[in-house]
Amino acid sequence: MNHNSKTALITGGTRGIGRAIALALAGQVENIALLYAGRRDAAEDTVNALLGKGVKSLAFACDVADSAQAKAACDQAREAFGPISILVNSAGITRDGLTLRMPPEDFKRVIEVNLAGAFHTIQACYRDLMKAGWGRVVNIGSVSGLMGNPGQMNYSAAKAGLVGLTKTLARELAGRGVTANLVAPGFIDTDMTRELPDGTLARALAQVPMGRMGKAEEVAAAVNYLCSPGADYVTGCVLQVDGGMYM
């Protein structure tokens, strides 16, 4: 295999926003490694879709909250495709509940997956990015991490933490030609948002000036831009894809 080709690694890359990102990046990379925690059938389906686009792809089961698993999965991807030059952290979970009633384990688990998980994969790919002289890291945050959201103290805290993590990484790697940015989606039409009660969804949409939910492909387009050569001078930024929900 040509280890000089461009390789992207996407966590949570087999469903929803992560899958849309993988399909969008297929236009500018040769290899895509996907990390997934749950459904193997979705992973296989996304790999086959990427193969159909002429991109070499493999999927690896991994709980990114576990640093050893994250490192092992990144090592497997590197062994298959060579150094990782694009890292997209899209893995995320929710365990919503009002602060008074939120079990401490739910708070901890969301922080471990959504925030510590990104740290684990960044650390595992750090040397690849540093040595290459060119690279991209895009973390998927949320407007909840910018404005807060009742019932999501754990999720909002994790996504807010990603902002600081991203800006720190941008400063560390800018001199190496590596950019680090965060995309903050608003309400996006995914399996997660489809499970919201009608009243909750209606109240959420009332806060969106554009009056509709976003599409996973619209988030993917923002990520695709940040990973492109056209974004060589863009680093440490938070790019909102939220229909004007937070301004």
Task: Indicate which residues carry an active-site annotation.
Answer: 155
Token output for 48? 């086959």
Per-residue pLDDT at 21: 98
**119 near 89, Cβ under 8 Å?**
no
Domains of the chain in sequence order:
7-241 (3.40.50.720)
17-58: pLDDT as tens digits: 999 999 999 999 999 999 999 889 999 999 999 999 999 999
How large is the average pLDDT for residues 96-125?
A: 97
**112 near 65, Cβ under 8 Å?**
yes
How many angstroms separate the CA atoms of 65 and 61, rounded? 12
129-140: pLDDT as tens digits: 999 999 999 999
Q: Evaluate if residue 103 carries a pLDDT over 80.
A: yes
Q: Evaluate if residue 60 carries a pLDDT over 60.
A: yes
Per-residue pLDDT at 223: 98
pLDDT > 90: what percent of the chain? 91
Give the phi and the psi of residue 77 in degrees, each rounded to 5: -65, -40
* Confidence (pTM): 0.95
Give the phi and the psi of residue 21 in degrees, each rounded to 5: -65, -45
82-97: pLDDT as tens digits: 999 999 999 999 999 9
Please report which confidence band the pLDDT of residue 4 belongs to, taking 50, 70 and 90 as the band edges: very low
Q: pLDDT higher for 193 or 174? A: 174
Q: Evaluate if residue 154 carries a pLDDT over 80.
A: yes
Per-residue pLDDT at 2: 40
Per-residue pLDDT at 3: 40
203-235: pLDDT as tens digits: 888 999 999 999 999 999 999 999 999 999 999
Q: Evaluate if residue 100 carries a pLDDT over 60.
A: yes
